[in-house]
Amino acid sequence: MAATGKENQAAAFYTCSTGQELTFAGANSTTPWSVEEVVASIPGGAPTTNSSSPVPFFHMLERLKTTKREGWRRFGISHGESISDHMYRMAMITMFAPPSLSSRLNIPNCTKMALVHDMAEALVGDITPVDGVSKPEKNRRESTTMDYFTNSLLGKVNGSMTGKELKAVWQEYEDSETPDSKFVHDVDKIELVLQMVEYERVHETKLDLGEFSWVASRIALPEVREWADELLKEREEFWGGKAHSTYGADQEPDSKVLRQKLEYYGNGNKAGKE
């Protein structure tokens, strides 16, 4: 998901658990985004690097608990899910792959991938398709961050093996070539659709989040599509004939929004995230 919730904002601000805002270079900033700049702004100072202890990395993970999934903020949901909230439910969902799917997958690897795939957002923030950050630039920021985690924070922990394993699982998800990664990409999408339906329920038909329903049409695996179909049926029953928006392969968002989403989700299953 997101970074600012505003397409043309020059810098994105994230609020950590202390309430202090941290600045990240945005789409229109003249200063290239860097890990060093973000780390230097962390309350209490940058974490200790080149340590044989994983504790500095454990502290870094706290940021995933306090950084919100930004796409919802554009709709006034200011106290929504965090990045770790999203990844935790994804991890649980991977364990429910039906036999027709689990027999072809390494489920423990899928669960690990769900817990790792957005890890870089601890420093990068949650960038969405509407934030004005190109997909290549987003990839650069995330890859640089993962290198910082695995080399500077975990390079001397357990002989660097744990860090290398995390980076390998993260890269597998990014490449989206293996059956495991394709499944986890679909799980990423179904988790978003779940949250969309749940936020609409909380707001009792006063909030239409149909813009996100398009994501269900990008789900590739039939087993996961079946879950999505059930969710969208639930959504229609919830709205009960009241006016609301729904998008899919037959009714796509406007051309600008569609271009933004296709850059992140691609024309097939190899894609980014909302």
Asked whether the beta carbons of 10 and 29 are under 8 A apart, the reply is yes
Rounded to whole angstroms, the Cα distance separating 167 from 182 reads: 17
Rounded to whole angstroms, the Cα distance separating 223 from 219 reads: 10
Give the mean pLDDT of 55-66: 96
Rounded to whole angstroms, the Cα distance separating 27 from 137 reads: 9
Rounded to the nearest angstrom, the gap between the alpha carbon of residue 6 and the centroid of all alpha carbons in its chain is 18
Give the mean pLDDT of 194-199: 97
On whether residue 44 sits in a domain, the answer given is yes
Would you place residue 200 in the very low, low, confident or very high pLDDT band (cuts 50, 70, 90)?
Answer: very high
On whether residue 241 sits in a domain, the answer given is yes
On whether residue 5 sits in a domain, the answer given is no
On whether residue 97 sits in a domain, the answer given is yes
Q: Which residue has the tokens 């043309």?
A: 8
Q: Could you tell me the residue range of the domain that residue 214 belongs to?
A: 11-265
What would the pLDDT profile of 92-140 be if each residue is shown by its tens digit?
Answer: 999 999 999 999 999 999 999 999 999 999 999 988 878 888 889 999 9
What is the per-residue pLDDT for 79? Answer: 87
The C-alpha angle 270, 272, 274, rounded to 5 degrees, equals 135
What would the pLDDT profile of 78-103 be if each residue is shown by its tens digit?
Answer: 889 999 999 999 999 999 999 999 99
- The domain total for the chain is 1
On whether residue 272 sits in a domain, the answer given is no
CATH of the domain at 51: 1.10.3210.10
